[in-house]
Amino acid sequence: MTDPTPTLTDNELAEIEVANSSGKQPVVFVHGLWLLSSSWDRWRELFEEAGYATIAPGWPDDPESITEAREHPEVFAHKMVQGVTDHYLAAIARLSTKPAVVGHSFGGLIAQKIAGESVSAVTVAIDPAPFRGVLPLPVSSLKSAFPVLGNPANSGKAVTLTLEEFTYGWANALDDDEAQQLYTEYHVAAPGAPLFEAASANLNPFSQVKVKTKKAEDRGPLLLISGEKDHTVPWAITNSSYKRQKRNDALTEIVEIKDRGHSLTIDHGWREVAQTALDFVQKHGPTTA
């Protein structure tokens, strides 16, 4: 029989084993573009203090560290939404209990795709990238994506943002010092392909950037979180995603976090966002051990 989880790393498998052996309710964190799974470290600590077991797989072939990622940015090229989703589904398949899933940006899109496969007990999607059927295209979102979409060749490349581009798309709600700090501490290259997939999703009936919403069985409760000042995924996009998800029979909620941009999971205001997600998981998800 073929190994159903060939892409999982030894570290990811070890995290899964620890979560399973703990007997606690697992939570899976899904990062988006331009970050590594280590961006969830503070969130994981908060959730673990609340009694959960956490895992944070990377995307396939993600480097283990920021240093390695910057030395070899080419490894990020060619990753596509469904392939990354399958990687997380493989990790979830190894968990002994249906997990809560929390994702940010393209990780928020992937979290919704996971929920649509009925393998998430409760889901939180934070400033999620749009899926097929989400129509708004705010100017700020187009400008944020232009460093990638402005060159068609980027669809097969890894793209690193300049500090100016990162500040506009991610750190516009922060002062210059914090923008520089986050850029230095967290920013890595990202594949251009997912942005091209999302940009063409509504024109491509075969797009893999789609989410089972109304037809999903046992999707579970879903919370969408929007940063009020997000340039990359403004309220119009998140609210459109909410309206489509609202068609599902399961509980669907949306909340806006004031004065936060796309960096809301990693900047100085991360704890408010994390607590909002934790409160929803505690209220609507399975109880911890």
Partners of 191 in the β-ladder: 158
User: Contact, 284 vs 125, CB < 8 A?
Assistant: no
Q: What is the pLDDT of residue 227?
A: 98
- Which fold is adopted by the domain 10-284? Rossmann fold (3.40.50)
Read off the tokens for 207. Answer: 């797009």
Quote the Cα angle for 51-54-56, to 5°. Answer: 160
Please give the average per-residue pLDDT across 24-48, as a whole number: 98
pLDDT tens sequence across 192-250? 999 999 999 999 988 999 999 987 668 999 999 999 999 999 999 999 999 999 999 99
CA quadruple 96, 102, 107, 112: dihedral sign: positive
CA neighbours within 13 Å on the CB side: how many for 169? Answer: 22
3-state SS class at 123: strand
Q: What is the pLDDT of residue 7?
A: 81
98: pLDDT strictly greater than 60: yes
Q: What is the pLDDT of residue 163?
A: 98
Read off the tokens for 225. Answer: 């979180």
186: pLDDT strictly greater than 80: yes
User: Contact, 198 vs 129, CB < 8 A?
Assistant: yes
Quote the CA–CA distance of 215 and 211 in Å, as a whole number: 10
Partners of 224 in the β-ladder: 125, 254
Partners of 123 in the β-ladder: 101, 222
Please give the average per-residue pLDDT across 46-55, as a whole number: 98
Q: What is the pLDDT of residue 287?
A: 75
5-9, 121-125, 178-182: which has the minimum mean pLDDT?
5-9
258: pLDDT strictly greater than 70: yes
User: Contact, 240 vs 130, CB < 8 A?
Assistant: yes
5: pLDDT strictly greater than 50: no
Task: Share the mean pLDDT of the chain.
Answer: 95
pLDDT tens sequence across 141-174? 999 999 999 999 999 999 999 999 999 999 999 9
Q: How confident is the model at residue 289 (pLDDT cuts 50, 70, 90)?
A: low
Please give the average per-residue pLDDT across 253-264, as a whole number: 98
pLDDT tens sequence across 55-76? 999 999 999 999 999 999 999 9
